[in-house]
Each structure stands twice: as structure tokens, then as C-alpha cells.
Copies of this chain bind each other. A is one copy, B any other.
Amino acid sequence: MINTTAQPENALRRDVVNLLAERGITPTQQRILIAQELLSKPQHLSADQVLHRVNNQTNTVSKATVYNTLGLFSEKGLIKEVIVDSSKVFYDSNTAPHHHFYNVDSGTLHDIECEALKVESFPEPPDALKIQDINVIIRVTQKT
């Protein structure tokens, strides 16, 4: 994620370009637009939301490019896929280990900081497998 505190637009763009370069990602116009939109603050967006936000500005980015770019960013560790809903993937600009509240009514995610929730102990993975990721999702609803 990028520090955007009181930074002018062009500084943000420069930061994004550097960030992409650091990860070996060619900073094309479309990728820069998507990165600016998604990485400017902690948030959880679906591919479709990214598509619409990016295309609200003048420039236009195709659906395929949004999907390709999100896949690339996530592969390069710039963002994280969050799987909580069977019908779509969310992309999280916060790549630090943390967990989520998922509001099943509104379809929105809220971070739970890593320190706020501790997974106390867990068994060894079967068959000598390696742990890739530990993920806690607390599904919440409107109180009835």
C-alpha cells in the first residue's frame, strides 16, 4: 500500500510506478490506474468494482485487463485475494497478515488486525504439507 497522506496527484503516480517497478511489473498506463485506485488506501474491492472505479475517470481499461492485472498484482504480492463469497473474489490492498469480518448482508469486508485475534494452536498439517496462509473469517449479519 502507498502512503498518500497529503500527497499531490503526481507524487502518488510516481510512487505507484516505483512500487510496480520494484516488483518487476512493467508500469503500463492501465496498471498504474488500477494500482492508484486500489493501493491508495486499505480496502477490499471486487474485480467489477475496480473496473467501474477506474473507468469513472477519463481513461478506459477493459475488463480483461482488470482481471489480468489483479491476477498479476496478487501473484507479485502487491495485493491479496480474499475468498469469502462463492460468487466473486475480493482484492485486499492490505497484504499484512490479518483477518476479516464479512457482512453477508451487504457483501462488505472489515479488517481484523492480526493482534486483535489470536489463533492459539493448531494441529500439524496432514502429509507434511506446508502452511501457506491462515485465514479467519467471521461472518456477521444484521441482528434479527
Residues of A within 8 A of B (CB): 81, 83-86, 88-89, 99, 101, 103-104, 110, 112, 116-123, 125-126, 128-144
Contact = CB atoms under 8 A, between A and B. Distances in A.
A138 B134 contact: yes
Chief secondary structure at chain A's binding surface? strand
A128 B129 CA distance: 39
12 contacts: A83-B83, A104-B132, A110-B126, A117-B120, A117-B122, A120-B120, A129-B142, A131-B140, A134-B136, A134-B137, A134-B138, A134-B139
Given A112-B123, A125-B138, A134-B138, 19 more contacts: A81-B86, A83-B84, A101-B125, A104-B132, A117-B123, A125-B140, A126-B140, A129-B141, A130-B141, A130-B143, A132-B139, A132-B140, A134-B136, A134-B137, A134-B139, A135-B137, A135-B138, A136-B136, A137-B137
